[in-house]
Amino acid sequence: MRPMWQDAALLALVVGAVYANSMAGSFHYDDFHSLVLNPHIRSLEKLPGFFVDPGLFSVDAEKAMYRPLLLVSYALNYAWGGYGVAGYHAFNIAVHLLCALLIWRLAAEWGRGAAVCAGLVFALHPVASEPVNYISSRSESLAVAFVLAALVLERRCDLAGRWGGPLCFAAALLVKSMAIVLPGLLVIRSWWLDRDRVEIRRLVPYVGVAALYLLIIVGNRFLGDSLAKAPRGLVSQLSTQCKGLIYYAKTLMVPVGLSVEPQFSVAAGPWSGPVLASVALVASGVYCAASAGRGRFFLAWALLGLVPTLLVPLNVLVNEHRLYLPLAGLALGVGAWWRVAGRASLRWPGLACLVIWGGLVVQRNDQWRDESSLWQAAAATSPHMARVHVHLGNAQRDGGRLPEARQAYARALELDAANRSARTNLANLYFEAAQIDSARRLHYLDFAARQYEEILVHDPEYREALNNLGSARMALGDYTEAQRVWQRAISLHPNHAEAHFNMGLLQLRMGRPEAAIPHFDRALVLGEDAEIHRERGHALVGLQRLPEAALSYRNAARLAPGDIASRYNRAEVLLVLGESDLARGRQQEGLARWGEAERALLEVLHLVPGHARARIKLEQLRGRLQ
């Protein structure tokens, strides 16, 4: 018993040591839509909904996914520590340690040395650094943890084995669908590792769980919607992923030059040279492994782990976290080999390799420190990937380094002139710069407008480009063109609140407050906002509908307590209404209006003691009340 605890403590110590500096890391790209900006994970009351509504996965409904247990883990993290990122990293490190311990447990049947070897290989391999550092990659590591737990429990013949394994499989699927390969792992383990026939009765519960899961994701439309949004056809996907297998093999064997977005491209076709060469290499590897006795089990494990990404097209062609399950097979294979070939002469080279891997992990953790360091490292290793430069530009923009951000977006467009995100973000930078640099304002606005127009040539219905082009044209004084653009935006996207709001602003600029009101009203139906209430108040003042204007300003101040302008405007409207009531002999109503105006002015002066106009109005009002 003591050696067992010593080995477990060794793995815990090693994982803690190499990943200690990952605790200083930050949230990264997909983390923002699924975690940081996702309101659904901020309440434990939402937990039941995670299991029925894929839309709760993200703040963006278009990025819906059915990963309920992953969301549960986020919600628990948030309940424990809000958005303190260290808690999320600690959870990821704990999951990685759990996986290493499960690998150690699976390899224990080959002896203590093999178990420790397998556990250390998994714990220290640099490929695991992405699932640990990148919070959203918890989907991979947590699903693999449940898969490994199911494999451990399936070995048992008691109640825990009969029910624990299928339950862990169900949990894995509820984290991420890549766990669907578990029944295949059980079959090849019986055939090639145990050299025994498959016991159908033991396999039936796992097949039943998989079938039930497929019914669920078909019923909630997650599967259908995912396939409908596939970025590539099946032939292109298979051709590309044939090349991907070589990349994955190289990355597992020589884990250097790792990148969040590896240098990779879509295959030109199934008969292209790189694809045919990749097929030949893979076939050779499979043939050699097939004659390697039990070794073929570990190769089959790795290939099975990649089957979901081979078949299902994703936006990112290849990445490191997809290797987390294949890495488990590699670690077990190394442990099994150690049992057979392990000699004292191999220990020092093996130890040196583990130490080097540990150093690479520590170095890689530092690259994941923040968005800027992550994408700078990616640009160094993948300089010809347009998406890398887009994300680098985003990081530099958010860090206030605007010239560098423009260069990054321009580089992305050099690599891919049709890259919508790069052109949109570049145009947005110039539009924002026009608000600051009055000397070059018109030049910047014209450049931004031309970029938005270029985007719309390729994607005529792109909502953001339509809306921003309208803003640029309005800022340039071309009200007719701005109106045409926003009319098109509203006809294509009738539920886009910002387009309605901007159309309302344009109507105000054109002196048409009566035409502005319906657009402000529609925008408020789609989403209440202080700025919409304030501009609606201006339109109502223009129409002399002062009681309604006062209410709009009041609503604006309610939604934005620091909105001084709305508070002051409301006070002025109330003063006019009070004057009108008094002139008509409605003294009680008039004095009540002035009392409200006095309180509104006092609120303004409380927030801004030096507000001269509010002080003058207050003194005048009090002079008349005496």
- For 287, other C-beta atoms within 10 Å of its C-beta total 9
pLDDT reported for residue 513: 96
Check: CB of residue 328 under 8 Å from CB of residue 300: no
Check: CB of residue 259 under 8 Å from CB of residue 364: no
Q: What architecture is domain 548-626?
A: Alpha Horseshoe (1.25)
**Which residue's entry shows tokens 């321009």?**
410
At 528 the three-state DSSP class reads coil
pLDDT reported for residue 297: 82
pLDDT in tens, 254-271: 999 999 999 988 888 778
SS (H, E, C) 419-459: CHHHHHHHHHHHHHHHCCCCCCHHHHHHHHHHHHHHHHHHC
CA dihedral over 36, 38, 41, 43, signed as positive or negative:
positive
User: What is the C-alpha to C-alpha distance for residues 382 and 393, in angstroms, rounded to an integer?
Assistant: 15
User: What is the C-alpha to C-alpha distance for residues 587 and 245, in angstroms, rounded to an integer?
Assistant: 85
pLDDT reported for residue 395: 94
- 334 Cβ contact partners less than 8 Å away, ≥ 6 residues apart: 117, 118, 121
User: What is the C-alpha to C-alpha distance for residues 93 and 262, in angstroms, rounded to an integer?
Assistant: 24
Per-residue CA distances from 316 to 63, 111, 204, 213, 436 (Å): 15, 40, 34, 25, 36
Question: What value does the mean pLDDT take over residues 387-410?
Answer: 95
User: What is the C-alpha to C-alpha distance for residues 506 and 495, in angstroms, rounded to an integer?
Assistant: 18
pLDDT reported for residue 237: 85
String of DSSP letters for 325-358: HHHHHHHHHHHHHHHHH--HHHHHHHHHHHHHHH
Amino acid found at 424: T
* pTM for this entry: 0.87
pLDDT in tens, 25-49: 999 989 999 999 999 999 999 999 9
- 356 Cβ contact partners less than 8 Å away, ≥ 6 residues apart: none
At 174 the three-state DSSP class reads helix
SS (H, E, C) 491-508: HHCCCCHHHHHHHHHHHH
Amino acid found at 405: A
pLDDT in tens, 305-359: 998 888 888 888 889 999 999 999 999 999 988 877 666 667 778 889 999 999 9
pLDDT reported for residue 230: 75
Q: Which two tokens stand for residue 309?
A: 């990404």
Domain spans of the chain, in order of start: 2-27+83-367, 548-626
The dihedral over CA atoms of 507, 513, 516, 517, expressed in degrees to the nearest 10, equals 180
User: What is the C-alpha to C-alpha distance for residues 260 and 14, in angstroms, rounded to an integer?
Assistant: 24
